[in-house]
Amino acid sequence: MPTKNELREHLHALQAGLSSMTYYEFLGVRPSSDYVAIRDAYYDRAQQLHPDRFVAFGAGSLQRSAYAVYKRISEAFSVLSDPHLRVAYDEARLGGAHRLDDVARARRRSPQERQLSNNFARIYFRAAVKKLERGLLRAAWIDVQLGLSLEDAPVLRELENRIITHPEGPASLQAEVFR
């Protein structure tokens, strides 16, 4: 269990790293870590460093540091937990960036994506749309099913319908899928 001084040191190390540390370093994971490892690291960080942990000290500089550090922790998690943003970030990192810039981070959602509330259902939806565009019907259909298993939403149903009724080889898709 960390003592107050250990916590304080940890916090200050991260605060000093705000202008240089990568999201991976911030969460204490490796660039090769998978989603589950990243999520667990995020929850651990939250347990230790959430600004709520410092409320008892009053509104002092410690709490302000915690707030600044924590905002970066949630930013790191929001980027690394989204496959598309993570790819964009890894590219930016090759160019020397330690953070994904604001414009790239605020990637807009399409009106359809907006109708999904489950983050993963949205990711499957997005992937399915991409695959459908490239004619990968079966792969798109699988993504839609995965999305539907998380959120039974009309936009996913519509997409499913578009895939099933696609002019190019609906028969083969059906045959493969329902075999």
Partner 1 sequence: MATDQEPVLGIDLGTTNSACAVVRDGRASVVRRGDDRIIPSVVAAMSDGRWLVGTRAKKRRSVDPVNVIYSSKRLIGRRFGSAEVQEMRQRVPYRIVEGKNEAIMIEAGGKVVSAVEVAAHVLTYLRQMAEEALGRRVRRSVIAVPANFTDSQRSATRIAARLAGLDVIRVINEPTAAALAYGYIEDTDRVIAVYDFGGGTFDVTILQITRNVFEVLATSGEMFLGGDDIDEAILGLMVGAFEQQHGISLRDNPVALERLRAVAEQVKIQLSSQSGAAVHVEEVLPGQRSDLDFSLREADLRPYVDPIVRRTIPVCQDALRCAGLSPHQVDEIVLVGGTTRLPHVRSIVEETFGKKPQTSINPMSVVAVGAAIQGAALMGSLVPMADGGVSAPSAAASAVLLDVVPRSLGVHTLGGYVDFIIERNSAIPLEQTRFFTTTTDNQRFVRIQVCQGEDEVFENNLKLGELVLSGLRDAPRGEVTVAVTFEINADGLLEVRAMDKETGQQQVATMRVLGGLDDQEIEQMATRMASAGPGPSSRGGTVVSR
Examine residue 135 and tell whether it contacts partner 1 (CB under 8 A). Answer: no
Distance CA 157, CA 70 (A): 38
Stretch that binds partner 1, among 11-19, 111-119, 131-139, 167-175 (CB under 8 A): 111-119
Buried/exposed 117-155: b ≥16 CB within 10 Å, e otherwise: eeebbbbbbbbbbebbeeebbebbbbbbebbbebbebeb
| Beta carbon nearer to partner 1, 108 or 134 | 108
CB of 35 vs partner 1, minimal distance in Å: 13
Distance CA 55, CA 57 (A): 5
For partner 1 (CB under 8 A), the number of binding residues is 43
Q: Which residues contact 37 (CB under 8 A, 6 or more apart)?
A: 29
Residues numbered 31-90 forming contacts with partner 1, rule: CB under 8 A: 40, 43, 46-48, 50-57, 67, 70-71, 74-75, 77-78
| Beta carbon nearer to partner 1, 117 or 172 | 117
CB of 145 vs partner 1, minimal distance in Å: 13
DSSP characters over 10-77: HHHHHHHGGGT--HHHHHT--TT--HHHHHHHHHHHHHHH-GGGGGGG-SSHHHHHHHHHHHHHHHHH
Q: Which of 90, 115, 130, 160 binds partner 1 (CB under 8 A)?
A: 115
Distance CA 40, CA 115 (A): 28
CB of 135 vs partner 1, minimal distance in Å: 28
CB of 171 vs partner 1, minimal distance in Å: 31
Q: What angle do CA 61, 41, 149 make, to 5 degrees?
A: 125
Binding mask 143-162 for partner 1 (x = CB under 8 A): -------xxxx---------
Applying CB under 8 A, the residues found at the interface with partner 1 are: 1-5, 7, 40, 43, 46-48, 50-57, 67, 70-71, 74-75, 77-78, 102-103, 105-106, 108-109, 111, 114-115, 117-119, 121, 150-153
